[in-house]
Amino acid sequence: MNVAIGADHGGTTLKKIIIGFLKEKGHGTIDLGAQTYAPGDDYPDYARAVAMAIRQGKAERGILICGSGVGASVAANKFPGVRAAVCHDSFSAHQGVEDDDMNVLCLGERIIGPELAKEVAGFFLSARFSLAERHVRRLGKVKDIEKEFMKT
């Protein structure tokens, strides 16, 4: 699977670790920065880059890392077609895909350790959206909200 990944200064170190893990597991990675630690950079810029890679079909999934994962998820969810969430446990990481079609995983380097972060990323990437009627119906309602309130 092709995975777009981005991180601000709060997530630069964990990003390198996650990229190594993804490569080891045979995933394609699109590294959208930051390439070096830049204490003045802003998480919305990386959220934009990852969200656009998904919207343009360059990546099927995205991983965003900031200090907490929160700012990155708030910004990424402003992009139609992006369903981002902070997950620091394996259950949420796979169920978020299976039930909610989450396509961007957000991690907080200041919250989660590298080993759990790799496990969470692995569960996220192995999961597939369930085609159960109730999940399709709920996703349809989420998409209706996008259509009503977001310009595409």
Interface with ligand RB5 includes 44 (CB under 6 A)?
no
CA 82 to CA 78: how far, in whole Å?
8
Binding string, residues 82-111; x marks residues near ligand RB5 by CB under 6 A: ------------------------------
The token duo for 106 is 């957000």
Calpha distance 115→110 (Å, rounded): 13
Among 3, 6, 10, 118, binds ligand RB5 (CB under 6 A): 10
CB of 66 or CB of 105, closer to ligand RB5: 66
Cα–Cα distances in angstroms (integers) from residue 34 to residues 13, 28, 52, 74, 91, in the given order: 10, 18, 16, 19, 28
Q: Specify whether the CB–CB gap between 64 and 89 falls below 8 A.
A: no
Which residue number, 67 or 122, has a Cβ lying nearer to ligand RB5?
67
Distance in Å, CB of 66 to ligand RB5, minimum: 3
Among residues 66, 85, 102, 106, which one is catalytic? 66
Separation between Cα atoms, residue 35 and residue 8, nearest integer Å: 9
66 part of the active site: yes
- Which residue, 26 or 39, has its beta carbon nearer to ligand RB5? 39
DSSP code of 116?
H
Active site residues: 66
Binding interface with ligand RB5 (CB under 6 A): 8, 10, 43, 66-68, 70-71
